[in-house]
Chains A and B, each alone.
Chain A
Amino acid sequence: MSINEIVIRPVLMNGSVIGLFLIPMICMRLFAEEKRSGTIELLMTSPVRDIEVILGKWLAAVVLYALTLALSAVNLTFLFAYGKPDWKPILIGYVGLLLQGGALLAVGTFFSTLTRNQIIAGVSSFCVFLCLWIIGWLLSSTPRRPRRCWAISPW
């Protein structure tokens, strides 16, 4: 077992769980606040295309998330100072976290356009993310459910 397996992999997996809480907070404001304060009309009539506005807001959210990830990488300097972890898997792990963050931020941006209340936007995107999380338990085999439970489960 290498240091990557013991230390870094669980850290990355926990990082994704923290992202689950953080990402709704980053993107809930994107459009909901514009709609609440009425600046959305200004934004929509300004000489930029809709897709540019959306991409700009999404990219801003991704950059903020990437900065958070970069801060979490500060811990790794100690690991490199006192040990010899394999750096390539770490890099790929962070790429994965960034891709996952980008995907969730895109979904969160969509939820932000549905309402003018940022709390509603945040909570509904959090609910969807949580569902995306626990739906994976359907595939995991360790807590094997007895057959009787399968008979009453909808899938």
Chain B
Amino acid sequence: MVTEFDSTPATKVLGYLSVVTHLEPFTKGLLDVKEVVYFLSAIFLGLFLTAVPRNRCGGGHKMNSVGSKQAQTKFSGYVTLYILVIVAVLAAANYLANQHDASYDSTKNKLYSLSNQTDKVVKGLKQDVAITYFDRSTEFSRARDLLAATPTFLRG
């Protein structure tokens, strides 16, 4: 059991947007499906926002708009709705990808995965296991790497 700092749902959602945390598994040599999904949805969102029309004349660019102000307001409403729907779809895709933990460990001796033996031992356990880790706080990130490899039933 590891006591992370007290994170609220708001910090989790905001922190999820961070680019660095999603890059980290790659630098370790882990191809994580959820991180790939995150980056692909970021690419899609960026290009979608670029392509989305800004006024009724179409095109993402400023042109002399024809038509009434009212029609433009209505149009802006539709565009906002469109963007919100896309953002919701991307958020759902990311949520689903995070529910299913699928990753490929490319390191030679599977540094970041548990061995079958560990799996077997843990499945045979009757009681909860408390893991206490002592180290300098600067070394915690390394320990967290190892812990991240443990499946949820171990993480408790």
User: B46 touching A89 by the CB < 8 A rule?
Assistant: no
- Asked whether B47 lies within 8 Å of A106 as measured between CB atoms, the reply is yes
B residues within 8 A CB of A4? 29, 107
With A and B bound together, what is the CA distance between A152 and B116 in angstroms? 47
Q: Does A36 contact B (CB under 8 A)?
A: no
Chain A 22-60, CB within 8 Å of chain B: the 1/0 string? 000000000100010000100010000011001100100
Contact of A13 among B27, B31, B45 (CB under 8 A): B27
Question: Number of contact residues on B: which range applies?
Answer: 35 or more
Contacts of B24 in A (CB 8 A): 13
Query: How far, in angstroms, from A141 to B21 measured CA to CA in the complex?
Result: 13
Q: CB of A63 within 8 A of chain B?
A: no
Pick out which of these stretches binds chain A: B73-81, B92-100, B133-141. Answer: B133-141
Instruction: Decide yes or no: A139 and B23 within 8 Å by CB, A99-B39, A110-B46 being known contacts.
Output: no
Task: Verify B15–A138 contact, CB threshold 8 A.
Answer: yes
Q: Does B115 contact A (CB under 8 A)?
A: no
Mark B1-25 against chain A: 1 for CB-CB distance below 8 A, else 0: 0001111101110110111111111
Q: Give the size category of A's interface with B.
A: 35 or more
Most A CB contacts (10 A, CB to CB) among B10, B46, B107 go to: B46
- Complex contact A103–B23 (CB within 8 A): no
Residues of chain B with a CB closer than 8 A to A108's CB? 46
Residue with the greatest number of chain A CB neighbours at <10 A, chosen from B19, B31, B42, B50 = B50
Using A92-B106, A139-B21 as known contacts, list a sample of 16 further A-B pairs with CB atoms less than 8 Å apart, ordered by residue number in A.
A2-B111, A8-B27, A16-B23, A35-B61, A50-B51, A55-B47, A58-B50, A88-B107, A96-B35, A109-B47, A110-B49, A113-B60, A136-B18, A138-B7, A139-B12, A145-B5
- 9 cross-chain pairs, A with B, having the tightest CB-CB distances, nearest first: A96-B26, A89-B29, A106-B46, A136-B18, A103-B42, A139-B15, A88-B106, A99-B39, A155-B10
Q: A residues engaging B (CB < 8 A)?
A: 2, 4, 8-9, 12-13, 16, 31, 35, 40, 44, 50-51, 54-55, 58, 86, 88-93, 95-97, 99-100, 102-110, 113, 129, 132-136, 138-139, 141-142, 144-145, 150, 155
